[in-house]
Amino acid sequence: MTREERIARAMAIPGNFFLVLTLPELRHQGMGFLSLYALQRTVEVAKDGTRGPSYSEQWLRDETGLEDYETSRACTLLAKAGMVTVTKAKDDGRVRELKPTELGRRILDKIMYEAGRRLWEGIPTAGRIRRVKMATEHLRKANRILHGPLQLSFFDKDLFLDERSHVPKKRTTGGTPSNRRGRA
């Protein structure tokens, strides 16, 4: 197993755990994981205010590396559900900015509350407070390491700049459609 595979497997456990905790409420709200991420980032940016008052679809694409249609679909779902408002940026009309609504903030709070409740109820009563405190401290420490000097993100696009073998090549079909007909 390579170093990258070991890192990915170690980091997948808490990510899978978070998905398991949030999935029932996400389904109840009719949301997907990307929509949750977009809503959370929209609320976070609006609260922070250092990057400006709104989050954009372009930021979502840059952070996730996903295709336009995927990020657009997630943002449109949030807008149709009334969780965000979408407006064109004043300086560039092609940029769609997202601003959280009060409903969006309440739904995000509810999803996180339900995830916390499921976690709390899943821990045996004996020693629950101690276990939660220990787990919280471990997660805070990991977060400080990953977002502190290491600055590792699942969406970092430059992790393999020096290792060109890890950059996937685009598939080409080769030739015109008539040339491809006889191929299996």
Nearest to 39 by CA among 86, 103, 84: 84
pLDDT digits (tens, 9 = 90+) for 24-36: 888 888 898 889 9
SS3 assignment for 93-159: CCCEEEEECHHHHHHHHHHHHHHHHHHHHHCCCCCHHHHHHHHHHHHHHHHHHHHCCCCCCCCCCCC
Domain shared by 84 and 129, yes or no: no
- Count Cβ atoms below 10 Å from residue 55 Cβ, excluding itself: 26
Q: What is the pTM of this model?
A: 0.66
Residue 179 lies in a domain: no
pLDDT digits (tens, 9 = 90+) for 102-160: 999 999 999 988 888 887 888 888 888 888 888 778 777 776 766 555 444 444 555 44
d(CA 98, CA 43) in angstroms, rounded, equals: 9
What's the mean pLDDT in 166-176?
Answer: 45
Give pLDDT, residue 20. 74
Give pLDDT, residue 172. 45
Binning pLDDT at 50, 70 and 90, where does residue 14 land?
Answer: low
Residue 170 lies in a domain: no
d(CA 135, CA 116) in angstroms, rounded, equals: 13
Q: Please say which residue of 101, 122, 143 terminates a domain.
A: 122
Domain containing 14 — which CATH number? Answer: 1.10.10.10
Domain shared by 58 and 30, yes or no: yes
Q: Is the pLDDT of residue 99 over 80?
A: yes
- 3-class secondary structure, 181: coil
pLDDT digits (tens, 9 = 90+) for 51-84: 566 888 888 888 888 888 899 999 999 999 999 9
Domain shared by 102 and 135, yes or no: no
Give pLDDT, residue 104. 95
Domain shared by 55 and 132, yes or no: no
Give pLDDT, residue 175. 43
Domain shared by 31 and 114, yes or no: yes
Domain that holds residue 137: 125-154
d(CA 17, CA 19) in angstroms, rounded, equals: 5
Number of domains in the chain: 2
Domain shared by 108 and 141, yes or no: no
Describe the chain by its helix, strand, coil percentages, rounded to 5. Answer: 60, 5, 35
Residue 181 lies in a domain: no
Give pLDDT, residue 179. 40
Answer whether 40's CB lies under 8 Å from 74's CB: no
Domain shared by 74 and 150, yes or no: no
d(CA 124, CA 80) in angstroms, rounded, equals: 40
Length of the chain: 184
Domain shared by 76 and 150, yes or no: no
d(CA 143, CA 82) in angstroms, rounded, equals: 31
pLDDT digits (tens, 9 = 90+) for 83-94: 999 988 788 778
Residue 118 lies in a domain: yes
Residue 166 lies in a domain: no
Residue 104 lies in a domain: yes
Give pLDDT, residue 183. 38
Domain shared by 117 and 31, yes or no: yes
Domain shared by 74 and 136, yes or no: no
Domain shared by 15 and 45, yes or no: yes
Residue 164 lies in a domain: no
Domain shared by 131 and 106, yes or no: no
